[in-house]
């Protein structure tokens, strides 16, 4: 196999382009041989390219149909008034004016950002600590048990988890307050006070979601050469020092991925606050996606809901772009 054959995609090298120009020359000798060889390579390259396109096409079609089209549709709909039943009516920028002066919408953005910060920070911290712990010395079977146990909540339905959490956090009859009561801590109004409700929603969310970051971190930790830690140990570095000076910098690419995914997911949180607190007390746990759902499906104002969706999309894009920008400074690749 030649070098040319293992170059399936990307711009064609100048040599190939030159060879194409010479295709008209059907002489004999080295020139002809080179020409035939290049032609065969080009055919193979074309075949590989076609194969790549064929493999990628279903995914691209899926993304276009299920992501790009709805996004464009949502942007278009955000300039209309539509209630499902009658035909859409042009509204211009009225939907945006309406939502930008709606206190519920503004509060929901604030809540979502607060939730994002708390949930992602807690999720990454717990996942990192547990990943380091599981990566330490322990029997293989026990490691597998922990990995499965931490990942398990992720495969459960968020709605059903939230129903259980609602029972657990119930102020009057919930086991959480009962447990706290046994050690003398007075009953906490988990779901009925503003701070308590946000804490309950964050805890329910983190409990379910940290398994994903945990798995990423376990993979990332396995990629850190043991020799680096051993060298640090020989130099007399403590365990904490080794993690701060070696593990974290070398894990920073994984941390970036986990935080990007975590933030995108957290900004779209819906099930936990919807089931646990219905956005209350007051608006204290109402998130942006809840507002989109309520505005569209409960109040039949699909145009305004789309406008809120467009703003959320812009927020997610902005936060993600900011993360990648900051990553240039803080992420270290080996």
Partner 1 sequence: MTDSLLSRRALMRYGAYGAGAAALAGVAAGWDRLTAADIPGRDDGSLVVATLGSAFNPEAQRALRDGFREVHPDIRIRINPVQAYDWSDFFSKILTQIAAGTAPDLVYVATEGVQLFAQRLGVPLDRWAKRDAAELRTYFADVHPSLVESMMYEGSLHQLPVEFNAADMYLNSRVLERAGADLPDDDWTHDDFTTLLRAMKRSNGDRFTPYFWTNRLWGGVVPWLFANDTNLLTESKAPGGDWLWNSFYPEAQRRGRGGGYRWTTPLADSDRVAEVYDYLSSLIQEDLCTRPEGGDGRNLVGVFSTGRVGVTPAGGFWAGGLHEAGMKPADYDVRYFPRRRTRRHQFGAAGYAMLRTSKMRDEAWEFIKYTARKDVMTQLFAANQTTPARRSMVDEARYRETGPAHWQVFYDTLDKIPTTGPIPAPPQVNEVEQLLIKHTGTALASPGAVRPALRRLQGDLEKAMEREV
What are the residues binding partner 1 (CB under 8 A)?
17, 20-21, 83-85, 163, 166-167, 170-173, 178, 189, 191-194, 197, 277-283, 294, 297-300
Cβ proximity to partner 1: between 76 and 117 the closer is 76
Shortest distance in whole angstroms from residue 8 CB to partner 1:
18
Q: Quick one: tokens of 75?
A: 């942007």
Minimum distance between the CB of residue 157 and partner 1, rounded to whole angstroms?
A: 13
The residue among 170 and 327 lying less far from partner 1, judged by its C-beta, is 170
Q: Cα 161 from chain centroid? A: 20
Tell me whether residue 123 or residue 285 sits nearer to partner 1 (CB atom). Answer: 285
Considering the complex, state which of residue 47 and residue 225 has its C-beta at the smaller distance from partner 1: 47
Shortest CB 301 distance to partner 1, Å: 8
Query: Least distance (Å) from partner 1 to the CB of residue 24?
Result: 9
Residue written as tokens 């209630």? 83
Give least dist CB 31 to partner 1, A. 18
The answer to whether 302 and 296 have CB atoms below 8 angstroms apart is yes
Eight-class DSSP state of 298: I
Of 1 and 84, nearer to partner 1 (C-beta) is 84
Helices 194-222 and 103-135, interaxial angle, to 10°? 40
For the residues of 63-131, what is the DSSP string, one character each? HIIIIIHHHHHHHHHTTEE--SSSPPEE-TTHHHHHHHT-HHHHHHHHHHHHHHHHHHHHHHHHHHHHH
47's CB contacts (< 8 A; 6+ apart) are: none
**Alpha carbon distance, N-terminus to C-terminus of the chain:** 31
Q: Min. distance of Cβ 280 from partner 1 in angstroms?
A: 4
Smallest Cα–Cα separation from 311: which of 15, 128, 43, 71?
A: 71
Nearer CB in complex with partner 1: 196/211? 196
């Amino acid at each position: 196999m030649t070098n040319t054959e293992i170059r399936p995609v990307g711009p064609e090298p100048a040599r190939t382009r030159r060879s194409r120009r010479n295709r008209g020359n059907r002489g004999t000798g080295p020139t002809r041989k080179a020409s035939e060889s290049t032609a065969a390579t080009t055919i193979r390259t074309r075949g590989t390219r076609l194969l790549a396109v064929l493999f990628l096409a279903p995914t691209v079609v899926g993304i276009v149909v299920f992501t790009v089209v709805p996004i464009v549709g949502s942007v278009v709909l955000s300039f209309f008034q539509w209630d499902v039943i009658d035909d859409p009516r042009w509204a211009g920028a009225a939907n945006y004016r309406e939502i930008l002066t709606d206190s519920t919408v503004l509060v929901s953005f604030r809540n979502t950002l607060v939730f994002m910060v708390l949930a992602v920070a807690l999720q990454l911290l717990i996942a990192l600590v547990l990943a380091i712990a599981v990566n330490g010395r322990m029997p293989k079977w026990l490691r597998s048990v922990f990995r499965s146990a931490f990942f398990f909540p992720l495969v459960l339905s968020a709605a059903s988890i939230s129903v259980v959490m609602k029972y657990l956090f119930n102020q009057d009859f919930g086991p959480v307050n009962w447990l706290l009561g046994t050690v003398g801590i007075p009953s906490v109004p988990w779901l009925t006070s503003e701070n308590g409700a946000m804490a309950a929603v964050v805890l329910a969310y983190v409990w379910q979601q940290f398994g994903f970051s945990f798995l990423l971190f376990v993979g990332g930790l396995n990629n850190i050469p043991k020799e680096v830690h051993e060298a640090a140990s020989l130099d007399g570095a403590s365990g904490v020092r080794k993690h701060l000076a070696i593990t974290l910098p070398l894990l920073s690419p994984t941390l970036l991925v986990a935080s990007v995914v975590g933030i995108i997911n957290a900004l779209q949180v819906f099930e936990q606050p919807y089931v646990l607190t219905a956005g209350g007390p007051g608006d204290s746990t109402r998130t942006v996606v809840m507002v989109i759902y309520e505005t569209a499906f409960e109040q039949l104002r699909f145009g305004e809901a789309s406008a809120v969706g467009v703003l959320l999309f812009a927020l997610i894009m902005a936060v993600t772009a900011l993360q990648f920008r900051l990553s240039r400074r803080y992420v270290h690749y080996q």
